[in-house]
Amino acid sequence: MPGTARAKKGNEELYAFDARMRERFGVVCGVDEAGRGPLCGPVCCAAVILDPQDPIEGVNDSKKLSEKRREALYEEITRRALAWQVVFVPPQEIDEKNILWATMDGMAQAVAGLSIRPAYVLVDGNRCPPGLDVPAQAVVKGDANSASIAAASILAKVSRDRYMQELDKQYPQYQLARHKGYPTALHYQLLEQYGIQPFYRRSFLKKQGYWHGK
């Protein structure tokens, strides 16, 4: 099967998954996050309610898309979705609550911030945020199975990448636009050279021995 046809078939399967959920529960929202693993910057959580009458071609797991394609789809999703919301959870909150519960809170905030109240929430992963006030279901590898979750993964990824690119302009010595804050060899080298800034996650650095509460 040619690549374009295979991508179209995959897109249809993701929308078919959501259609089955809508038949059972009503208006469906997809939720995902980006940035749980980096040493710095926020974790970004997104919630999306797609328009079933206006499917967006190419929606897929953000990790399977090129940066250029994600950027284009971000514009399509934010323009054509029935509702969407993006929430940034700062490093200080991550340090206070730990990354899991900071992410859970961010996901709940994203759903609460939607202009349309969903009847059911599909959450990427194996756990649902306890702060949701609507029924929800965790979907393992949801961004590869649900169009709504895939759309949320794109919004979260692009939003966080853009944030890190802006931060890079303020702190070019850390090359944040290059590694996006993830724990690469280059990033550790730059940390040793320049030290940490307020946008770093102290709890992550402490585990790696880069910060001792001084």
Distance of CA 118 to CAs 31, 43, 110, 131, 211, Å?
A: 11, 23, 12, 15, 42
DSSP code for 33: E
Residue identified by tokens 């853009």 is: 162
DSSP code for 121: E
Which residues line the annotated binding site? 32-33, 124
DSSP string over 50-108:
--TTSPPTT---GGGS-HHHHHHHHHHHHHHSSEEEEEEEPHHHHHHH-HHHHHHHHHH
Which residues line the annotated binding site for a divalent metal cation? 32-33, 124
Q: Which of 90, 104, 109, 126 is nearest to 198 (CA)?
A: 90
CA–CA dist 88, 90 (Å, integer): 6
- Max Cα-Cα span within the chain: 58
